[in-house]
Structure 1
Amino acid sequence: MSISAADVKKLREMTGVGMMDCKKALTETNGDIEAAVDWLRTRGLAQAAKKADRVTAEGLVGVAVDGNRAALVEINSETDFVARNEDFQNIVRNVASLALSANGDVDALAAAEFPGTGRTVTNELAEAIGRIGENITLRRAALMEVSEGALGTYVHAAVTEGLGRIGVLVGLESTGDKAKLEELGKQIAMHIAAIKPLSLSSDELDREAVERERTVFIEQAKASGKPDNIVEKMVEGRIRKYYEEVTLLAQTFVIDGENTVEQAVKNAEADVGAPITVTGFVIFALGEGIERQDADFAAEVAAAAGTA
């Protein structure tokens, strides 16, 4: 089948593998990009497929907190220059606050009335495009709340309070000291921003994603030539290691570099004065998964794919 330049470019961005190997992988998998990622990984050509590593979209992530409720929003622009514009910052700040009452629902948020204008958020963004001179879009929103306890928040690369390139919310349920819970929550949120776990625990991981990992590990283990019973043990060991790498509670806490996050939370209970349960987290990394066109590179890919 014919392999498009766009697919070769996308696979290269996902894996960091050379264009000709990407084209071969797509040819071998009939153009299925996810299968091509696994094909490359089983041959040791791609160690991981981290789609968020090559983020190019601009704008701001905003955080708003009201008691035991907190919201995240992402509003995108064409250039990082706009993120320093006070008009744009004010828009993101207000939309983040509105997300609290919209319960994090992006459609409800888009239809909400923007403060002091009589316009919806959608219409306010349209007005801002004319004022600022760049396309501006509301991409996503999320809400987190706890019944009793605290919410940890963190904004990385902040341009002003509550606005930056990465926003994190983490929920801690506890009857303990709220100030101490908030400080612990902030530390966990900083960990999440740095390590970017996929889920709270292994139970919440996407099962299809886990099976894909298992399939890759099986192929890699079989390539060692070892007996089946050894291959099985190798695979299970790698799955356990995978869980430790991608689930929050099993990760090594970056704040102390020794305990898992789960153990660090347990250790904090004595200081807080009550049991603590981490209920969940949300992380927005600016532009995650959005591609920016690169004409020169696209031409290079097209040539390699034989479509130019």
Structure 2
Amino acid sequence: MASRESSTNRALVRRVTRVPAEDVPDGYPFDVDADHALELVVERRRADGSETVRAFEAWPSGGHASSRLARVLDAVGEPAGSPGALDGERVVLESRDGAYRVDVDGTYALHEEATRAGVNTHALAELVVAAGALVGLFAFFLAWTPLERAAVPLAALAAVVLAASLGYDAWQTRDRAWTPHPLPWTAGGAVPVLNVAVAVAYLARKAVAVDDSADADRVWRDVLAGTVVAFAVGLALAAFDLTFPLGATVFAHAWALAPVAVFLDGRSARHEHAPKRAPWLAGAVVFGGAGALVYLLRTDGLQ
């Protein structure tokens, strides 16, 4: 009876092939009642390494929607009509009499666990991005105080943290609404002062993609409006000795954010007629928040 007991094993699907039912080995203990079968070549983990085994699923003749194969695909997050999508997926196997098939419930649990871990990892990475931005702001603030010697190491720390966290989070983000390219975000995160602006832009864009993807293209209008306000407030605060360090910090970073927001807004799909990015970007680089304000007024940004 011991040989009839089932056990579960994590495995990685290496190849997926549709084969005639005759190719299923005689004595295969799991039901494959169909004219064809889906053969899965999987790499199974073992205590002493790994081994390659085969598992079979019945290929439904009446459609995939209500079949066991559909449940297997759903367990890994793929649509019922795409059996080939199992290639490269992680699954859990159940074994009986030395033969294997996919354990649907175990595979569901495996992917739910991975999803929870991914969400936690993303949340942590976003917190690190936010913390890095705050460190960058604080470093710039200290540059205008008697503690200016601490500004350089803090700015360097912020650059390392932001480059690493932005790159990692962008690499991990795979969403139908937004899939960022890691390299430009990593590069932007490595440049002092600019990296804070890049972090703000990244977090704003991701928040909209996650919470309300319908407003994704309009997020840059809001970022630009906030940039203009911050630019003006920073300039006003910098006019007084007491608030000069704070004003200079807000003013400089609003200036850095202006061209970033103009560039990203110009690429968005919210404009009826796409603005010419080069002159507007140059204006934001030279004039900061003032250039961003003119951009908003002269494009359809306030409509």
- TM-score normalised by the chain length of structure 2: 0.21
Q: Which has the larger share of helix? A: 2
Instruction: Give the greater-gyration-radius structure (CA).
Output: 2
- TM-score normalised by the chain length of structure 1: 0.21
